[in-house]
A and B are shown apart, each in its own frame.
Chain A
Amino acid sequence: MKTNDIILQTVAKLASLVILLFSIYIFFGGHYSPGGGFVGGLLASGAIVLLLLAYDLKTVAAILPIDYKLLIAAGLLIAVLTGAGALLFDAPFMTHTFSYFDVPLLGHTALHTAVLFDLGVYLVVVGVTMTIIQTIGESE
């Protein structure tokens, strides 16, 4: 019998977008309200998993042509470089700094190097979760 997942797929398309937005929201809000890179990363991969459930591995790979192992490496690199950047300013490793800027569109905003570090965490978490799920899913 041929199954038809049209409802699931339609809902998944919408829902995953919402989840992704929520994950980005949680990520950026992490410094002021509950959330941060870790939960944000988990939610983002949750969105991708939802797509995986609605479609199949190949389709999702076509939609998001990402090698998640590279994502792990990139995340770790960002985290380490953020930490090492402090060394350039003669400060101990992992010293963060922040300041207020007038950014176009957003207005008066605090920009913090810790967010860059959190971005590294975010990418690693997405990479790790997706690598595990994809690897196990592909195996027989």
Chain B
Amino acid sequence: MSLLHWAILSPFIAALFIPMLYKRFRKIHTGWFVLVLSILLFIYFFMFLSQTRDGRNVSESLAWMPSLDINFEVYIDGLGLLFSLLITGIGALVVLYSIFYLNKDKEKLNNFYVYLLLFMGSMLGIVLSDNLIVLYMFWEFTSFSSFLLIGYWYQRERSRYGAQKSMLITVFGGLSMLGGFVLLSYIGDTFSIRELVSQNGELITHPLFTPALLLVLLGAFTKSAQFPFHIWLPDAMEAPTPVSAYLHSATMVKAGIYLVARLSPVFAESALWLWLIASVGIVTLFWGSFSAVKQTDLKGILAFSTISQLGMIMSLLGLGAAAIHYESMDEDIYVAATVAAVFHLINHATFKGSLFMAAGIIDHETGTRDIHKLGGLMNLMPITFTITIIGAFSMAGLPPFNGFLSKEMFLASMVSVTEMDLFNMENWGVLFPVLAWVGSIFTFVYSMIIVFKTFTGKYQPEKLKKKPHEAPIGMLIPPVILASLVIIFGLFPNLLSSTIIEPAVAAIQPGAVHVDIAHWHGFRVELGMTIGVIILGVLFYLTLAKWQNIYQLFPAKLSFNRLYDALLTGMERISLAVTRLFMSGFIRTYLVYIFLFFIISLGYTLFRKNALTIDMKNTAPIGIYELVLAGIITIAAIAILFAKSRLTSIILLGAVGYTVSIFFVLFRAPDLALTQLVIETISVALFLLCFYHLPKISRKEERLAFKLNNALISIGVGVIVALIALSSHSSKYFDAISKYYVENAYKEAGGENIVNVILVDFRGLDTMFEITVLGIAAIGIFAIIKLRLTRGKEEG
């Protein structure tokens, strides 16, 4: 077990000790302990930077289930390291923020930090695992810990609803992804991602390749809140704000992006991959930014904005997959798409994290997140205002910030789609820049809403629960750090290019990185598009009140949330209805099912296998006694059906039983005849006893009502049994083994009564358990009757 394994597992180990630390050191905010760990982890991963920059990847293996080819294989390359740094770095900032956000006397901090550490560890596990099954394991860990974190304030109904929704959707995707992984490992005969990548050319020809692709993508899309699975993210905003900042902007929602990027070398050759990811991404971008504008809750805006930005990264990754088809091109514009994706991934983590923290500060200091109640906070909260303006302008793609650079690169890549000449892109490709551009305008509008509706305008103190003031310094440090990163990356983007972006892109597109990432100047189409975005965005923002009514045009009934709710309640209702339909609670109904199944399955087999043969060759001659007895038994059996009184039925049943014992006599079975005679007597006596004790009310003597269904079913059962008996008699293939008993009963067992010798000697074990059955029956009757009596006494 290497140090790397310890690093990944350290959050889990630390989570074990959190409750203890929480109980022991009540004076110290538990978050400080977690902060130390996350900073240490960040430093540890930072030290790998020099190695991945030179293309030296680190891998460590730990045997877990070697016989199943499942091993805890850790692999650090540019992509994994980028994500590890995001997870630990933003994790540390979020922990610091949460120390000031959550009150140590009012909140259950032990729960919070245990969940958070579980999440951090599993996220590290996802991005550093090389084994698909291990990756899946950590993937579900993030789903569960995210579920716990969203439902942290479990007293609130909305929290529980949001937690359940995110759980159902992400676990649905996770399970599909597991299916995809299993198919993938079946095709490639390995669970290792690196080995799959090394055989990427061969995989695509396999017929299971497309199902595997679709299932894996389903996992990635649900986790990363892509259209139409984005609906869980806005409801996950019920979580405490540090959680939203960490999970739902910087890390967990990027797990799907990570998966797409990581498996790109495996799937990129497929047209479906490119098309699906690029188009779902661009639709998500548009829909997210469009829906964000109508939100009134700050975190609601941010949630839809996250959805939209994730869609942007996703569509860039999809386009990046085209690079594999253009290896010979000089200026590889599709590699640039991947570069843009990675760059924007970093940028989004910085500015969205800071925006969430700022929203949390506003919520914390004013008691509301509703933009209708907020306004005029600029002078009261100047630092928060600065942070928000940096974050929002970066998100909108304005020049001095890093969002501008990645937005430019994004638009450039989208424009380049029109030049693509494969997979029918020349027909539909033009939609990409159009949707991207329109989406960017909406992005600009909602970014402005966040800043100006909150901080400018009329100050409405009467609507606020608290008297607003600036946040404590500890709460401001993390967003300030993130906001300064926004500016630093905006001014000096090349700090990142060779250190982080290049190795990360190399991991997504092996052997195709010769792009000058520093290139970001020049008058090109995308600059014009950005200027258009700004001009139209300002116009749209200023006229917001006039056109906002178009959101009313979409009936609320058609939203995906309604669909989800309807699905959930519908499934419950239908399953309840179905269960009610056949689980009637009446034994007679269940008997009908059992007998119908009996008739259908046996009848089908009988005819399907051509087993129905009736051969009269081996039958014995029928004598007069048999005919008479058969006549008696038939009359008695039929008479039972038409008997009016129960007493008649019981006596007729006795007649049947005694006839059977005469049959035994006739067929020379004296032992059976004796036993049958005595047993029949006893059971008739017991029936009479039951009859005597019937309650008066149900003693009404009436004939059995005729029901056609029951008649048909009973006739069917009888016919089937008769047919099977005749067929099996007609197709006897072997002699009976009874000859052995006849010959050896005296020689081996010293008895002349073969029946008894078989019962006690040859097959004595059966007899032993039969008498055990009798004993159990007797004790059961004893227990039923006696226990009922004692209970009756207690009640009386």
Contacts and interface: CB of A to CB of B under 8 A. Distances in A.
A43 B775 contact: no
Contact of B760 (A117, A128, A136): A117
Interface string B667-686: 00011001100110010001
A96 B760 contact: yes
Interface in A94-122: 94, 96, 98, 110, 112, 114, 117-118, 120-121
Contacts of B750: 31, 98, 110, 112
Most chain A C-beta atoms within 10 Å of own C-beta, residue among B674, B756, B757, B785: B756
Contact of A131 (B674, B679, B771, B781): B781
Contacts of B675: 38-39, 42
Interface stretch (B36-44, B115-123, B311-319, B762-770): B762-770
Given A114-B764, A121-B767, A128 B678 contact: no
Contacts of A132: 777-778, 781-782
B751 A112 contact: yes
B676 to A, nearest CB: 10
B782 A135 contact: yes
Where chain B touches its partner, the secondary structure class is helix
B775 A128 contact: yes
Contact of B778 (A37, A43, A127): A127
B544 interface: no
Interface residues of B, number: 36
A35 B756 contact: yes
B752 A75 contact: no
Contact of B749 (A26, A114, A124): A114
A132 B398 CA distance: 93
B786 interface: yes
Interface in B310-361: none
A39 B689 CA distance: 23
A121 B786 CA distance: 25
A12 interface: no
B751 A114 contact: yes
B778 A72 contact: yes
Contact of B674 (A39, A68, A73, A121): A39
B771 A75 contact: yes
Contact of A79 (B768, B785, B789): B768
Nearest to B783: A135
Contacts of B767: 79, 117, 121
A83 B779 CA distance: 23
B613 interface: no
Main secondary structure of the interface of A (DSSP, over half): helix
A131 B768 CA distance: 19
Nearest to A97: B750
Contacts of B678: 39, 42-43, 46
B761 interface: yes
A4 to B, nearest CB: 25
A51 B209 CA distance: 83
B782 A117 contact: no
A96 B757 CA distance: 10
B753 interface: yes
A131 B760 contact: no
A46 to B, nearest CB: 7
The 9 closest A-B pairs by CB, nearest first: A34-B670, A31-B751, A128-B778, A98-B750, A131-B778, A124-B771, A36-B756, A42-B678, A72-B775
Given A117-B760, A124-B774, 16 more contacts: A30-B753, A31-B751, A31-B752, A32-B751, A33-B753, A34-B670, A34-B671, A34-B674, A46-B678, A72-B774, A94-B768, A112-B749, A124-B775, A132-B777, A135-B786, A136-B686
Interface of B: 670-671, 674-675, 678-679, 682, 686, 689, 749-753, 755-757, 759-761, 764-765, 767-768, 771-772, 774-775, 777-779, 781-782, 785-786, 789
